[in-house]
Amino acid sequence: MHEFEAGPGQVLVVYTSGDTGGEVSVPAFARDISADAVLRAADGWRIVSESSFPVRQTGTAGNVFFESGGQFATQPSAIVVYARSAA
């Protein structure tokens, strides 16, 4: 996890899973982000934006090179913007 200041009262957090070499468990990845969000909420932070994308993906050579839809993510990343709630 990497954290960057993103203006007054905001932080941008980048979450990246390990490369599993197999299909990623989206619920497990979301659970990890959610657990961190719960900890941040106790300090007054809330999620205001989120985006996710595959960092690595795999499939058969034909599926990867010809984009026939047979590839799957083996390592996801997500960017979450948190803002501090007004006290």
Edge-to-edge strands, sheet with 10-16: 2-5, 10-16, 72-84, 45-58
The pLDDT of residue 20: 75
Does residue 20 sit in helix, strand or coil?
A: coil
User: What's this model's pTM, rounded to 2 decimal places?
Assistant: 0.77
pLDDT digits (tens, 9 = 90+) for 31-62: 999 999 999 999 999 999 999 877 776 665 55
The pLDDT of residue 78: 92
Q: Is the pLDDT of residue 7 over 70?
A: yes
Compute the 3-state secondary structure of the chain and give helix, strand, coil in percent, each to the nearest 5.
25, 45, 30
The pLDDT of residue 26: 85
From start to end of the chain, where are the E strands?
2-5, 10-16, 45-58, 72-84
Q: How far apart (Å, rounded) are the C-alpha atoms in residues 49 and 35? A: 16
Does residue 31 sit in helix, strand or coil?
A: helix
Residue 52: strand pairing partners: 78
